[in-house]
Amino acid sequence: MAISARFSSHSSIHINSPYLAGEEFVKRALSLVNNNMLQPTMANIQFWGIMSCVEYGRASGSMSWIYADIAIRLCRELSYHKEEILSTAIHTEDGSIDAVAMAMRRRIFWSCFMLDKVTSAGTHRIQCVGQADYDAHTTTLAEIILLKEPDCPRDMYGYPIHEDSLLNITKHYITCIEKFGQVNRWMSKMSNHRQNDKALWPPIAEYRSLDMQLCSWQESLPEKFHFTEGNLKYHQKFADTQHLAVWLNCHAMWCCSMIILHRGSLAYTTAVYYETAMTDELKTKIQRGLETCYKCADTAIDIFGAMKDVCGHNMLPYIGYLVYVLATFLMASTFSDIDKDGEKCQKGLTILHEFIERLSPYWLSCKNLADVIKKLLVAHEKYKSNRSQTDNQSQQISKTTFFSQDLPFSTTPYNQHDHYFAQERLHNAQVMHDQLKSTESDYFKNINFNSIGFLYDTELFGHLVLGSSRIQTAPYLQDSQSKC
């Protein structure tokens, strides 16, 4: 109820603020916590997993990660990470096999696995489940059918459907999350302190392997699961709305994983590198990284545009990290003088802002992110204006005063959402939000968006959106005049 109450229209639950409707149930849930909640049972794992999701939406990244860790540890205590256990039959009192309980057991493990990957992404927090820690198989079609909602599934228009065209998308979503977790795991190990006088490519030793894994994932998808305009129209008619959202989320995650892996190539697009520091072979490799990024960014913009139109507001807050990855890449592309007119960045940021703003009344983390992207839009306009004024004088303009203090950044919530967070006595999330606002200006000042430090910063999202504290000050913020 802490999650579903936000989206309910029931008269006994619905209030003006969807966020606060959920907060009432959060308080009740937390009041139930005692020593028994730490016992390794299926119900307790579900409780901590749900609370992890709730805390993520409340912009409490630390609590979300802690609750997810509890759920994962209880899973490991029950050996749910082992296929030998997941394949062991569960018997009912009359001796028959409880196939539903077996399917639920597998679903719970993979749900906890997903929590591990999304709660650590964009923060300094480590993942708890490594690639060698489990051998569980992905869910089967038979298990998916067993756990289907008893009501007839409906398409996005509300019409009942009899054969869901995306029924088996969950298996591919799980494998995509595995790749997403691996990319974040290895990229987060990179140091931001890179030599400024030498192009280092690839950025990590695992780069080629990760790239091949991501490409292989897409190539192995059945044709009907690829993201195309034709498939989108087809699935809008013949897929359940929840599976449609999972399908779109899956492709958004894949695109952003590719961007995370390849976006460092933007740091090497300046004339000084192309003239002095690169061999032809290195230029070719970096150019391939750039092409991959822009192809994935174009696709991701279309995906988020589709999600904005067909998924509505009934989504979990984890999508915010993918929005952030794409938004910051678009800003970096403008700084690298590749998106010269800035139209692609403007279009993409507008779509992302409209998409995440719809989720703002339901999740504080999404509200924080909407504020961040709004500032990026304003700053992008400022950059375009400055550039048009100086193009006749010089082809090089300052890219490090982008977030100057004179920018018209509002530190107050949007008027249309003010009432959602007015009742501070019901929760302390607004306090965290206010503290976050006081630090945003420090990070949005003098950022060199296409510097190596910014492109490989794996903690800034957690600081701006989830209230996480940084381990150290990023180098690209310490010296605004440094060049990548």
**Measured CA distances, 340 to 275, 346, 351, 373, 484 (Å):** 20, 12, 19, 20, 19
Residues in the chain: 484
| DSSP for 379-444, written as a single string | HHHHHHHHHHHHTTT-S---SS-TT-TTS----S--GGGGGGG--GGG-SHHHHHHHHHHHHHHHT
> Tokens at residue 397, please?
């303009």
| 3-class state of residue 87 by DSSP | coil
Give the pLDDT of residue 284: 87
- Check: CB of residue 145 under 8 Å from CB of residue 167: yes
> Tokens at residue 315, please?
């989504």
> Tokens at residue 26, please?
């959060």
Sign of the dihedral defined by the CA atoms of residues 333, 335, 339, 343, in that order:
positive
Q: What are the tens digits of pLDDT across the range 307-338? A: 999 887 878 899 999 999 999 999 887 766 55
pLDDT tens for the chain, 484 residues: list them. Answer: 556 555 555 555 555 666 566 667 677 777 878 889 899 999 999 999 999 999 999 898 999 999 999 999 999 999 999 999 999 999 998 999 999 999 999 999 999 999 999 999 999 899 999 888 999 999 999 999 888 877 766 777 777 788 889 999 999 999 999 999 999 999 988 754 444 445 578 888 899 999 999 999 999 999 999 999 999 999 999 998 889 999 999 999 999 999 999 998 887 776 555 555 678 888 888 889 999 999 999 999 999 999 999 887 878 899 999 999 999 999 887 766 555 556 788 889 999 999 999 999 888 999 999 999 998 888 777 777 766 565 545 444 344 333 333 333 333 333 333 333 333 323 333 433 444 444 444 445 556 776 777 787 878 888 888 876 554 444 444 433 333 3
- Which DSSP letter does residue 22 get? H
**Measured CA distances, 265 to 76, 191, 287, 449 (Å):** 39, 16, 8, 13
Residue 215 to residue 197: CA distance in whole angstroms:
31
Question: Nearest-CA neighbor of 261 among 216, 206, 334?
Answer: 206
Give the pLDDT of residue 48: 94
Give the pLDDT of residue 483: 34
Q: Could you tell me which residues come within 8 angstroms of residue 279 by beta carbon, excluding any fewer than 6 positions away?
A: none
Residue 133 to residue 173: CA distance in whole angstroms:
19
Residue 266 to residue 201: CA distance in whole angstroms:
12
CB atoms within 10 A of CB 237: 12
Give the pLDDT of residue 7: 56
CB atoms within 10 A of CB 1: 15
Say what the pTM is: 0.82
- Check: CB of residue 336 under 8 Å from CB of residue 266: yes
- Check: CB of residue 324 under 8 Å from CB of residue 266: no
Residue 91's DSSP bridge partners are 97
Q: 255-264: string of b/e by CB count within 10 Å (b at 16+)?
A: bbbbbbbbbb
Please return the burial class of 201, using the count of CB atoms within 10 Å of its CB with bins 0-12, 13-18 and 19+.
middle
φ and ψ of 405, to 5 deg: -70, -15
**Measured CA distances, 326 to 76, 323, 397 (Å):** 34, 5, 24
Give the pLDDT of residue 198: 56
Cα angle 285, 256, 479; round to 5: 70
φ and ψ of 82, to 5 deg: -105, 130
- Which DSSP letter does residue 114 get? H
- Check: CB of residue 453 under 8 Å from CB of residue 460: no
Q: What are the tens digits of pLDDT across the range 433-470? A: 444 444 444 445 556 776 777 787 878 888 888 876 55
- Which DSSP letter does residue 40 get? -
Cα angle 370, 372, 376; round to 5: 110
> Tokens at residue 364, please?
């504080």
Residue 179 to residue 210: CA distance in whole angstroms:
8
Whether residue 202 has a cis bond before it, omega within 30° of 0: yes
Q: Could you tell me which residues come within 8 angstroms of residue 439 by beta carbon, excluding any fewer than 6 positions away?
A: 463
Q: What are the tens digits of pLDDT across the range 187-219? A: 988 754 444 445 578 888 899 999 999 999 999
Residue 390 to residue 411: CA distance in whole angstroms:
29
Q: How far is CA 292 from the centre of its chain?
A: 19
